[in-house]
Amino acid sequence: MQLNTANQWGGASLAVERNRVLRNTYYLLSLTMIPTAIGAMAGIALQFQMSMMWGLLLFLGVSFGAFYAIERTKNSPMGVVILLAWTGFMGLWLSQMLQRVLAFSNGAQLIGMAAVGTGAIFFTLATIATVTKKDFSFMGKFLFIGLVVVVLAAIANIFLAIPALSLTISAVCVLLFSAYILYDVSQIVNGGETNYVTATLALYLDIYNLFTSLLNLLSIFGGERD
């Protein structure tokens, strides 16, 4: 009897902790949208642009440096500060794409559609992972392999600039990062991820890449010139 009671208390405590991580993750994730928006607006106002080679080196250097710093400080307030600073940089980086899309007469509409589509996909998949509590950890290895292939293809296409490859990469990324949302939320719900800072980083990357991929597809198929 005492053992059953202890197990019940242990299970309840574990559920409370996982809910706390999920709640803090969603709160911090919503907070990351502020520096992202500020960075994007600043980049548009300044007409921020980078060359392909130097831009790639800068992006990789800042991002991997931020990932390392976040991992080292994830259990302290500094981890949140570094994460928010990095999302501001990501907003600045995003401004380059937004400027190209805003060159279309319906550019603002395309951006809005991509944002709504991203929100709808995230809400749907996050709800499925949370409500069903199904463990999607089995997807991890396949998703990582897919991610490596996509990254290599994207880097190659920076230099090749093949429109059909760009279209294919964006379509694959929509599916890949939608699946990653399911996987990453499931990790939190089922206790595979216990730190809300690193959980937020993972979900932010999912949303960011899903949004840019959707926006690229919409601009290809629906962009209108004056």
pLDDT tens-digit map of 91-130: 999 999 999 999 999 999 999 999 999 999 999 999 999 9
Whether the full predicted model's pTM is greater than 0.85, yes or no, is: yes
pLDDT of residue 4: 53
The pLDDT value given to residue 191 = 85
Range 53-70 burial, b when 16+ CB lie within 10 A, else e: eeeeeeeeebeeebbebb
157 vs 23, more confident: 23
Pick the closest to residue 178 from 195, 157, 203, 200 (CA basis).
Answer: 203
CA distance 151 to 154: 5
pLDDT of residue 12: 60
Q: Is the pLDDT of residue 199 over 90?
A: yes
The DSSP letter of residue 138 is: G
CA angle 209, 214, 215 (to 5 degrees): 100
What confidence tier does 177 reach under pLDDT thresholds 50, 70, 90? Answer: very high
Structure tokens at 110: 């395309």
- For the stretch 133-164, pLDDT in tens is 888 989 999 999 999 999 999 888 878 878 88
pLDDT of res. 210: 97
Whether the CB-CB separation of 137 and 192 falls below 8 Å is answered with yes
Average pLDDT, the chain: 90
